[in-house]
Amino acid sequence: MIVRLWGTRGSLASSGPDTLAYGGNTASVEVRAADGTILALDAGTGIRRFGTTIDPLVERVDVLLTHLHMDHIQGLGFFAPFFRTSGQVHLWGPSSPTLDLRGRLARYLSPPLFPVRLRDLDARVVLHDAPDRPTMIGGFEVVAQQIIHPGPTVGYRITGDGASLAYLPDHEPALGAGRFPDEPRWTSGFDLASDVDLLIHDGQYTDIERAGRVGWGHSSVSEAVAFGELTRARRLVLFHHDPSHTDAVLDGMAAGADADARGIDVVAGREGDAYDLGSPDRTVA
Partner 1 sequence: MAQLPIELILVRQLASGLAVPIFVVDAIGDLLYVNEAAEGLLGLRFDELGDVSFAEWTTAFAPRTPDGLGAGPGDLPLVVAIRERRPVHGPLEIVGRDGVARSIEVTAIPLVGTRGQLLGGLAMFWEEPR
Q: State the residues that interact with partner 1 by CB under 8 A.
A: 95-97, 132, 145-148, 152, 175-178, 184-191
CB of 122 to partner 1, least distance (A): 32
Bridge-based pairing state of the strands 140-146 and 88-93: unpaired
Closest to partner 1 by CB, 144 or 277: 144
Residue 10 has φ and ψ, to the nearest 5°, of -110, 160
In the complex, the smallest distance separating the C-beta of residue 176 from partner 1, rounded to whole angstroms, is 4
Residue number with CB closer to partner 1 (87 or 189):
189
Are 127 and 101 spatial neighbours (Cβ–Cβ below 8 Å)?
A: yes
Distance CA 237, CA 39 (A): 18
Q: Which of 71, 266, 39, 45 is nearest to 136 (CA)?
A: 39
Taking the complex as a whole, how short is the minimal distance between the CB of residue 30 and partner 1, in angstroms? 27
Q: Are 56 and 85 in contact (CB under 8 A)?
A: no
Element (H, E) at 125: strand 124-129
Among residues 86 and 96, whose Cβ is nearest to partner 1? 96
Q: How far is it, in rounded angstroms, from Cα 244 to Cα 246? A: 6
- The neighbouring-strand residues paired with 28 are 7
Q: State the minimum distance, in angstroms, from the CB of residue 218 to partner 1.
A: 16
- At 152 the three-state DSSP class reads coil
Mark 210-224 as b/e (b = at least 16 C-beta within 10 Å): beeeeebbbbbbbbb
Question: Which one, 31 or 148, has the nearer CB to partner 1?
Answer: 148
Name the burial class of residue 58, with classes exposed (0-12), middle (13-18) and buried (19+) by CB atoms within 10 angstroms of its CB: middle
Cβ neighbours for 213, distance < 8 A, ≥ 6 positions apart? 205
Q: How far apart are CA 282 and CA 264, in angstroms?
A: 13
> Closest distance between partner 1 and the C-beta of residue 151, in Å?
11
CB of 66 vs partner 1, minimal distance in Å:
13
Compute the radius of gyration of the chain from its Cα atoms: 18
Our CB check for partner 1 shows the closer of 142 and 148 to be 148
Least distance between partner 1 and beta carbon 114 (Å): 26
In the complex with partner 1, which residue's Cβ is closer, 1 or 130?
130
State the minimum distance, in angstroms, from the CB of residue 204 to partner 1.
20
Q: Which is nearer to partner 1, 11 or 187 (CB)?
A: 187
Nearer to partner 1 among residue 88 and residue 95 (C-beta) = 95
